[in-house]
Structure 1
Amino acid sequence: MIDLGMVKRDVSTILNQSFSINLKCIRTDKVIKCHFNTNSKIIYSDGAVGTEITALISIDDSKYLRLKDEVEILGIRYEITKSIIESQVLKRLFLREI
């Protein structure tokens, strides 16, 4: 069995590398490292495929964010419209530019 604590630490180390992007929550001023993608491919429940603006964060950092929070990434403001758990250690945020 994999040690979940070890996986969380490894993911946190990866997300805190210099290539990661800062996501700032406007409500709390909390800055979180994320993997930001303006063209994430999404497969919807009806089988259609599209793209969405998403940010991937650690599950531990997700406790600082809520749906409808405004966040700033690379100087652009977004609203969190949806979030899903990607694995036991990652959460994907779906964003809408405002």
Structure 2
Amino acid sequence: MGSVGPTDHVIRREEESLTRVPPEIGRLRLLELLSMNYTGILGLPMEMGQLQNLSFLDLSRNQFQSEPEFIEKLMGLSYVNLSDNRYNPSPQNQHWGDYIE
């Protein structure tokens, strides 16, 4: 009988890191809060612009080369954090620390 517990094999973070977001994410029309940090993602699909109920978006500490274009289409956003990526986010999107009224 084998023991139950952790294995001897350790999976490296690079092997398990999220590297892309499928365009089907746009189907999550009721999504209100999304936080994706510390990933290997280089960009996001334009379909994320369909997430009109999204109010909280934290995409800090990723590998984005530029600010996602769909951000401007998300009129319901009250919090956005795009800090610590591979580009300099515009000041209004670097970190909205408080909810915007």
Task: Give me the TM-score of the superposition, normalised by structure 2.
Answer: 0.29
Instruction: Report the structure, 1 or 2, having the larger helix content.
Output: 2
Of the two, which has the highest radius of gyration?
A: 2
Instruction: Report the structure, 1 or 2, having the larger strand content.
Output: 1
Compare relative contact order (CA 8 Å, sep 6+) and give the higher one, 1 or 2.
Answer: 1
Task: Give me the TM-score of the superposition, normalised by structure 1.
Answer: 0.30
